[in-house]
Amino acid sequence: MSNRISTILAFVIAVIMFVAAWFFMQSGDGASAPARAEAPVAAPKEVPIDSTRCVASTEWMKSHHMQLLNQWRHDSVREGNRTYATPDGRHFDKSLNTCLGCHASNPMFCFMCHEYANVKPTCWNCHISPMEATK
Amino acid sequence: MKKVLIPFVMVAVLVAIPYVGVTAGGQAYLFGVIVPYTAAAIFLLGFLYRMIDWLKRPVPFRITTTAGQEKTLDWIPYNRIDSPATPMQAWVRILLEVFFFRSLFRNTKAELREGPSFTFASSKWLWMGGLAFHWSLLVIVLRHTRFFFAELPGFVQPIEVADRFMELTLPAFYLTDALVLAAITFLFVRRLRDVKLSVISLPTDYFPLLLIGSIAVAGVLMRYVDKVDIMTVKALTMNLAQFSFDPVPGDIGPIFYVHLFLVSVLMAYIPFSKLMHMGGIFLSPTRNLCNNSREKRHVNPWNKPIKFRTYAEYEDEFREKMKKAKLPLEKE
């Protein structure tokens, strides 16, 4: 009796997991129409790009860079808004190249910490990583 | 309600100790190095002591509980897991118990209904809550190996990827973080809500739940809300993994020390508490003994030797007298 119930329950759980997996896979591309930016708008020329200092403090960037990058990706790819204004009035192009403009001088810049902490970012799924670019 | 309040206050004090100690007292070395080592030592030695103590206890007889047909004649099929005939099959039963909590799956609920009628029904909530809780804890512990190895052990990476496959937030949201908090909340509320359960619940039931819950909350806060410097944390944990007594390699937020201190308390608490069920489950005589009482005679090893006297000896002694009395003899 309990054997039969456990078989049935296992089957039900398997079905639910299958449906859930399918749902999650679908919700990525099929569920909602992909948002399209009108046309990529380049940073207006008159905006001075100041890259002598980073967009935010080192402390903040250490803990929040992934959120900033994610926000930039969303803004530039989905909304077409490519200019980032810091609270103190400086302007930056919302692009990974803005970061790499300075930080690519050390091709290991991202990897030193990420390898050490065993954190695998998804950036290099699409972008060419600085480590590969200098090869 | 004192039974809940006391553990609650205890956990609150345990949270406050490292927080005050690190922010006001500057005792980062104490809470970052000394306390974890001490706790790990207590855990290891205490765990070993308990297990060896339990392993030494003799279990001469089969007191296995059976839930299936015992092995008998060849043409009668028997239940290999619920009535194991060999130690191997008993081990399968143990492992299924450890990984899937089959005993809890049989949980029934007794209810007095209108009528009045007394009913029994299958109740799977405890089984599901327990399963979600323990499996989440296992995945979380495995994920933490990233702090103690230079490179992730191979099998952890797929687990980690599966755990954050929803890619909801940044840093990636871990499914088990939510699961463990939901499950522990359920297990806690379950004890409070049911009158029968709350009567038999003790402070030692609530304390580990609150402690583990606080550890999980501190960890979640560190990851998603009040972030700590991972690089320093990793440097510290790598030091700990290498048994080094170097000073803490930098400033880490106090919430990390709260997390670490609560984990230390948990580790030190395990050998003295019900949490020893993590080792004890392997020694449950009702689970790990095969049901072979009819196949093999089990003798209690400390029984005094009994002097048996066979009928043949009896006859030898009284043969002449029995002959005279004309009693039948087996041997002339």
Q: Over its length of 135 residues, how does chain A's per-residue pLDDT go in tens digits? A: 344 456 567 767 877 787 777 555 544 433 333 333 333 344 444 444 555 678 888 888 888 888 899 899 999 999 988 888 888 888 888 888 888 877 877 778 888 888 888 888 888 888 888 777 765
Q: Mutate which of B156, B170, B256 to disrupt the A interface (most A C-beta within 10 Å)?
A: B170
Q: Is B227's CB within 8 Å of A119's CB?
A: no
Whether B311 is in a domain gets the answer: no
Length of chain B: 332
Strand partners, A92: A84
The CA distance from B155 to the nearest CA of chain A, in Å, is 14
pLDDT of residue A135: 55
pLDDT of residue A93: 87
Q: Is A2's CB within 8 Å of B106's CB?
A: yes
Q: Compute the distance between CA of residue B29 and CA of residue B119 in angstroms, rounded to an integer.
A: 58
* Residue B218 pLDDT > 60: yes
Distances (CA, A) of B258 to A121, B36, B223: 28, 12, 14
**pLDDT-above-70 percentage for chain B:** 100
Q: Could you count the other beta carbons within 10 Å of the beta carbon of residue B29?
A: 14
**pLDDT-above-90 percentage for chain B:** 64
Q: Is B230's CB within 8 Å of A24's CB?
A: no
Q: Mutate which of A118, A119, A120, A125 to disrupt the B interface (most B C-beta within 10 Å)?
A: A118
pLDDT of residue B10: 96
With beta carbons under 8 A apart, name residues in chain B contacting A62: 229, 231
* Residue B201 pLDDT > 60: yes
Lowest mean pLDDT among A22-31, A70-79, B24-33, B263-272: A22-31
Whether B148 is in a domain gets the answer: yes
Q: Is B227's CB within 8 Å of A64's CB?
A: yes
Question: DSSP for B142-201?
Answer: HHGGGGT-SS--TTHHHHHHHHTTT--SSSPPPHHHHHHHHHHHHHHHHHHHSHHHHHH-
Say which of B166, B170, B230 has its CB closest to residue A117: B230
Quick one: which of A56, A76, A77, A74 has its CA closest to A65?
Answer: A56
Residue B331 · residue B320 · CB < 8 Å: no
> Domain containing B26: what range?
2-305
Q: What is the CATH number of the domain that holds B169?
A: 1.20.950.20
Across residues B35-55, what is the average pLDDT?
94
Mean residue pLDDT across chain B: 91
Token pair listed for B171: 């840093």
pLDDT of residue A37: 35
pLDDT of residue B264: 97
Torsion of CA B242, B244, B247, B251, to 10 degrees: 10
Whether B155 is in a domain gets the answer: yes
pLDDT of residue B30: 94
Q: Mutate which of B230, B237, B256 to disrupt the A interface (most A C-beta within 10 Å)?
A: B230
Q: Is A116's CB within 8 Å of B231's CB?
A: yes
pLDDT of residue B65: 87
SS3 B122: strand
Residue A51 · residue A90 · CB < 8 Å: no
Q: Is A66's CB within 8 Å of B106's CB?
A: no
pLDDT of residue B211: 96
Q: Could you count the other beta carbons within 10 Å of the beta carbon of residue B233?
A: 22
Size of interface A-B (CB pairs under 8 A): 33
pLDDT band at B114 (very low <50, low <70, confident <90, very high): confident
Whether B317 is in a domain gets the answer: no
Strand partners, A83: A93
pLDDT of residue B123: 84
Whether B326 is in a domain gets the answer: no
Whether B15 is in a domain gets the answer: yes
pLDDT band at B38 (very low <50, low <70, confident <90, very high): very high
Length of chain A: 135
pLDDT digits (tens, 9 = 90+) for B127-176: 999 999 999 999 999 999 989 888 888 888 899 989 988 888 888 889 99
* Cis peptide bond upstream of B87, omega within 30: no
How many domains in chain B?
1
Residue in chain A closest to B107 (alpha carbons) equals: A2
* Cis peptide bond upstream of B171, omega within 30: yes
The CA distance from B228 to the nearest CA of chain A, in Å, is 7
pLDDT of residue A7: 58
Q: Is A118's CB within 8 Å of B151's CB?
A: yes
Residue in chain B closest to A60 (alpha carbons) equals: B227
Say which of B106, B122, B234 has its CB closest to residue A116: B234
The CA distance from A47 to the nearest CA of chain B, in Å, is 30
Q: Compute the distance between CA of residue B263 and CA of residue B216 in angstroms, rounded to an integer.
A: 10
Q: Compute the distance between CA of residue B270 and CA of residue B45 in angstroms, rounded to an integer.
A: 11
Across residues B4-22, what is the average pLDDT?
95
